[in-house]
A and B are shown apart, each in its own frame.
Chain A
Amino acid sequence: MKRILGLITALLLTTSLICGGVTAHAADAADALHDNTLTVAMECAYAPYNWTQPDDSNGAVPIKDSSDYANGYDVMMAKKIAEELGMDLEIVRLDWDSLVPAVQSGTVDCVIAGQSITSDRLESVDFTAPYFYASIVGLTRVDSPYAQAQGLSDLAGATATSQLGTIWYDSCLPQIADGNILTAQESAPAMLMALETGRVNLIVTDIPTAKAALNAYNDFVLLDFTDTDDNFVVSSEDVNIGISVQKGNTQLKDAINGVLNTMTVDDFNNLMDEAIAVQPLSSGLPQGFLAQIGYLLQNYGDSYAKGAGITVVIAVICTAIGCLIGLVCGIIQTIPCEKQDGVCKKIGLLLARGILRIYVEIFRGTPMILQAVLIFYGAAFLFNINLNMWSAALIIVSVNTGAYMAESVRGGILSIPVGQTEGAKAIGMTHVQTMTNVILPQALRNIMPQVGNNLIINIKDTSVLFIIGVAELFSVHKGVVGATYAYFPSAVIEMGIYLAMTLICSAILRFIERRMDGESEYALVKQTGGLNAPRHTDSKQPKTGNLDLEMKGEH
């Protein structure tokens, strides 16, 4: 029902085709039934199917590697399935685009996340029978001319939008006669914001999303034309919501189907109503922007703080490691290669430089978000290595920073005037001594602004780690917004936190730079008597007249 297969899935599929054998690890996932833990992935940001909440109220389940809890229709369904199968339940929070790769690579046992059973997806994963039927409806505001619409034809000429990559946008909106269709929105909360702020008069979505939205926005009106002739035309593929498992894992699929077979459509709808009733903010957001910010800080303050903490820790550690990597690369790149050097040294240096060049170009030249997916899921998919989420995050960001810093360090070293090297050589220093005592201290000082840049970039760019489920600051935003629809207030809070973090980091770095520069003035050290030597500053050059230099001979 939501976005179609992401670019990333396509990328992974291509990789897997090249390497041959897509179902190589089916057997591993079947182990799910043996190790007796059912690992279920979902976004935890797609109310009322699944959302994040700060406590375990209403039967919420802890999210793996996080202090938050997940709840919603999917969680309730997952609990029921795990209970019926006599298994322990583990909820993993993943970005929407990572759900298919995660189940494909066997990183998780199944995905219960409001995925519709499309033929595209069926090429990558297997689906159980539907666990919900999500009919298509419209939403508008009470004050809009469409509030009284009785059928699809009454919506003619509406200004409308929906969510990117959904059949709501791709096949339902075009059915509106003379519709003014605006660009698709990146998420359900964003789409609701577009309606609330009056940028559109109509959005099209499924019934659970619409019902949940009615709770949060009390000026919204539901336009449900189901069971009339004047309704959106959709195929069953578009409304059947299923649970996906790894291709060929019939054991798990059959077990889940066994549970679903005992439930009726009414059971599904009742469970969904139950979920909508306990969704955070089911009673509506407080009125007023500041009140909403206050509400979020009060209820999700801990989540924001933890997200910020994780973001800073990852950014600082990775900037440090990245600088070390960059330093090593930069030093290797600038080792002089002279005529008289041995063949081994020359070949070794050439080889090392070639490898470093490739490393720098690849990691500088591709988006970190794709690297994250490839390293995290690729390792599991191709080599059956299940990287811990945190190690993956640290590796990805460090290696990226290293690629940028390698060039900065190289530039920093090359920017030191050649006279410094010659001065050092002339008193007999070796290359290593010259580098450690003279060149690197100066080069490092010169690249401090680059280190600062990288730290700040890392603070912001760790946000792409949500794709592999790291609960950094931006993923907290996604979680909060997915549960509460408080899109705008949460964005303002996040902006404030990011800005505070980057400002503090800049200030600290500038302080370090000043320390590295040393004293801006110096005291003359009188050699014979005379305390209280005058202090000279940079601008006032000391005069040489008072020196008792013995001049022998005249010029």
Chain B
Amino acid sequence: MSDNNRTIVEVQHLSKSFGPREILKDINFTVKKGDVTTIIGPSGSGKSTLLRCLNLLETPTSGDILFHGQNIEKTMNIPAYRSKVGMVFQSFNLFSNMTVLQNCMVGQEKVLRRDKETARQKAMTYLQKVGMAEYINARPRQLSGGQQQRVAIARALAMEPELLLFDEPTSALDPEMVGEVLAVMQNLAAEGMTMIVVTHEMAFARDVSNHVVFMADGYICEEGNPADLFGNPQNERTKDFLSRFRQN
């Protein structure tokens, strides 16, 4: 996507256990500016857990996450770090006590300390980008799932993060709404947004991302560019997983 080689995030020997169960095992990977990385893999393989470790919604058990070379757990203020790494959830998680506009402004005002007018203008810009500018006065419960997810993307974008994490953003949507959200994401990718996307949408992984990570049982089994990974998978588990997908 971009030939800028600046590394944004580097994950080193990350592992995560819940009690005695080790969910993530020795995860290593790098995300460069402009990368669109998709993470695929069977259910329960630890994809969400990895994404949640990346913005510290889960605390890693061991290993390091470096953001521009800085260890986020040891040297960075966690809220400040999170404001630079946006996250879009499967279940949208829009603030139900606020309107669409307020959802997109509150973080800018409270966390980034932008003044109201600036926050409003930015919010409108990004709402326009996701096609939700007309709905600024609506409350989340008054919107369809696809609309909510687009607002959630605008909310994350309004913080102008360096990296955007998506955890299965279309899994909770009715099929007819999947397209509108994927289109927004595809737009972002085209504009050079750095993204890590956990998804079951193989078409998106193949056509939009420039790097695919396949996870199983808490390990990264295989990674590479989409053409190689989908066209010529090396690992048995990858082959197995992809073949099951093709049948469906």
Tell me if A552 counts as interface (CB < 8 A to partner B): yes
**B114 on interface, CB distance cutoff 8 Å:** no
Say yes or no: A555 contacts B179, CB within 8 Å: yes
Q: Name A's interface SS.
A: loop
Docked CA distance A521–B137 (Å): 9
B86 touches A423 (CB 8 A): no
A137 to chain B, nearest CB (A): 69
Asked if A524 and B134 sit within 8 Å, CB to CB, the answer is yes
Q: Which of A338, A438, A533, A541 has the most chain B CB atoms closer than 10 A to its own CB?
A: A438
A527 at the interface (CB under 8 A from B): yes
Q: Are A522 and B107 in contact (CB under 8 A)?
A: no
Taken together as a complex, chains A and B put the C-alpha atoms of A547 and B150 apart, in Å, by 12
A183 and B53 alpha carbons, distance in the complex (Å): 71
Are B94 and A423 in contact, with the CB atoms below 8 A? yes
- A289 → B minimal CB distance (Å): 52
User: Of A427, A428, A552, which is within 8 A of B186 by CB?
Assistant: A552
B143 at the interface (CB under 8 A from A): yes
Chain A positions 418-467 with a Cβ under 8 Å from a chain B Cβ: 419-420, 422-430, 433, 437-438, 441-442, 445
Chain B residues with CB under 8 A of A551: 179, 183
Q: A553 near B83 (CB under 8 angstroms)?
A: no
Option from B128, B155, B182 in Cβ contact (under 8 Å) with A555: B182
Of all chain B residues, the one with the shortest Cβ separation from A546 is: B134
Query: Does A550 make an interface contact (CB < 8 A)?
Result: yes
Nearest B residue to A445, CB-CB: B97
Do the beta carbons of A541 and B143 come within 8 Å of each other? yes
Most-contacted residue by chain B among A422, A427, A527, A550 (CB, 10 A): A427
Question: In angstroms, how far is the closest chain B Cβ from the Cβ of A544?
Answer: 6
- Please determine whether B142 and A419 come into contact, CB atoms closer than 8 angstroms: no
Which one of B111, B130, B190 lies within 8 Å of A427 (CB-CB)? B111
Q: Shortest distance in angstroms between A57's beta carbon and chain B's nearest beta carbon?
A: 59
Residues of A within 8 A of B138 (CB): 522, 536
Complex contact A422–B134 (CB within 8 A): no
A522 and B95 in contact, given A425-B82, A427-B107, A552-B187 (Cβ under 8 angstroms): no
Whether the Cβ atoms of A426 and B136 lie closer than 8 Å is no
Q: Is the CB of B131 within 8 A of A548?
A: yes
A143 interfacial by beta-carbon distance below 8 Å: no
Task: List residues of chain A with CB within 8 A of the CB of B134.
Answer: 524-527, 533, 547
Residues of chain A within 8 A (CB-CB) of B184 are 549
Task: Report chain B residues within 8 Å CB of A426.
Answer: 55, 57, 82, 86-87, 89, 93, 156
A423:B97 contact, CB within 8 angstroms: no
Residues of B contacting A424 with CB < 8 Å?
95
Chain B residue contacts of A6, Cβ below 8 A: none
Q: CB-nearest residue of chain B relative to A424?
A: B95
Q: Is the CB of A428 within 8 A of B79?
A: yes
Q: Is B70 an interface residue (CB 8 A)?
A: no
A427 pairs with B155, CB closer than 8 A: yes
Could you mark each residue 84-125 of chain B with 1 if its beta carbon is under 8 Å from any beta carbon of chain A, else 0?
101101011111110100000011001110000000000000
Q: Does B222 contact A (CB under 8 A)?
A: no
Cβ-defined contact, A428 with B180, below 8 A: no
Residue of chain A at shortest CB distance from B55:
A426
The secondary structure that dominates the B interface is helix
Instruction: Point out the residues of chain A lying under 8 angstroms from B93, CB to CB.
Output: 419-420, 422-423, 426
A515 at the A/B interface (Cβ < 8 Å)?
A: no
Q: A528-555: which residues lie under 8 A (CB-CB) from chain B?
A: 533, 536, 538, 541-542, 544, 547-553, 555
Contacts of B1 in A (CB 8 A): none
Residue contact B87 to A340, C-beta cutoff 8 Å:
no
Q: A428-B83, A525-B137 known; A547 and B131 CB under 8 Å?
A: yes
- On whether the beta carbons of B89 and A553 are closer than 8 Å, the reply is no
Which B residues touch A427, using CB under 8 A? 82-83, 86, 106-107, 111, 155-156, 159
Nearest residue (CB) in B for A444 is B97
Is B144 engaged at the interface, CB distance under 8 Å to the other chain? yes
* A523-B57 in contact (CB<8A): no
Question: B128 CB to closest chain A CB, in angstroms?
Answer: 7
B147 CB within 8 Å of chain A = yes
Check: A496 CB closer than 8 A to any chain B CB.
no
Question: Using a CB-CB cutoff of 8 Å, which residues 56-78 of chain B contact chain A?
Answer: 57, 59
- The B185-203 residues at the A interface (CB cut-off 8 A) are 186-187, 190, 201, 203
Q: How far is the CA of A420 from the CA of B89 in the complex (A)?
A: 11
**Chain A residues within 8 Å of B144, by CB:** 541-542, 544
Q: State in angstroms the CA–CA spacing of A548 and B187 once bound together.
A: 14
Most chain B CB within 10 A, of A426, A521, A522, is at A426
B146 within 8 A of A: yes
**Complexed CA–CA distance, A552 and B189 (Å):** 11
Q: Within 8 Å CB of B83, what residues of A?
A: 427-428
Which residues from A are CB-within-8-Å of B146? 544
Q: Establish whether residues B133 and A422, one from each chain, have CB atoms under 8 Å apart when the complex forms.
A: no
Distance, CA A526 to CA B143, complexed state (A): 17
Task: Check B179–A527 contact: CB distance below 8 A.
Answer: no
Query: A419-B93, A525-B134, A536-B142 are known contacts. Are A430 and B79 too (CB-CB below 8 A)?
Result: yes
- State the CA gap A273–B177 with chains docked (Å): 91
A424 to B84, CA, bound (A): 13
Least CB distance, B245 to chain A, in whole angstroms: 15
Write the chain B residue with the least CB distance to A539: B142
Q: Given the complex of chains A and B, what is the CA–CA distance between A445 and B98 in angstroms?
A: 13
B139 interface contact, C-beta 8 A: yes
| In the assembled complex, A339 has its CB within 8 A of some CB on chain B | yes
Q: Is the CB of B57 within 8 A of A423?
A: no
Q: How far is the CA of A338 from the CA of B141 in the complex (A)?
A: 32
- Interface pair B204/A420, CB less than 8 Å apart: no
State whether A437 and B110 are in contact (beta carbons under 8 Å apart), knowing that A419-B89, A428-B83, A552-B190 are contacts in the complex.
yes
Interface residues of A in 292-341 (CB under 8 A from B): 338-340
Q: Give chain A residues whose Cβ lies under 8 Å from the Cβ of B86.
A: 426-427
Please name all residues of chain B whose beta carbon is closer than 8 Å to the beta carbon of A338 when the two chains form the complex. 59
Minimum CB–CB distance from B51 to chain A (whole Å) comes to 11
Would B111 and A429 count as touching, CB distance under 8 A? Answer: yes
Q: How far is the CB of A382 from chain B (nearest CB, A)?
A: 47
Best-surrounded residue of B82, B97, B187 (most CB of chain A within 10 A): B97
0 or 1 for each of A181-214: is its CB under 8 Å from B? (1 = yes): 0000000000000000000000000000000000
Q: 15 A–B contact pairs at CB < 8 A?
A: A419-B92, A420-B93, A426-B55, A429-B79, A429-B110, A438-B106, A519-B137, A522-B137, A524-B135, A525-B137, A527-B128, A536-B138, A547-B134, A549-B183, A555-B179
Further contacts, 15 of them, CB under 8 A, given A426-B89, A525-B135, A536-B142: A423-B152, A426-B87, A427-B82, A427-B86, A427-B106, A427-B159, A429-B110, A437-B110, A519-B137, A521-B142, A525-B133, A533-B134, A544-B147, A551-B179, A552-B183
- Which A residues fall within an 8 A CB radius of B? 338-340, 419-420, 422-430, 433, 437-438, 441-442, 445, 518-519, 521-527, 533, 536, 538, 541-542, 544, 547-553, 555
3 nearest CB pairs, A to B: A428-B83, A423-B93, A427-B107
Interface of B toward A, CB cutoff 8 Å: 55, 57, 59, 79-84, 86-87, 89, 91-97, 99, 106-107, 110-112, 128, 130-131, 133-139, 141-144, 146-147, 152, 155-156, 159, 177-180, 182-184, 186-187, 190, 201, 203-204, 207-208
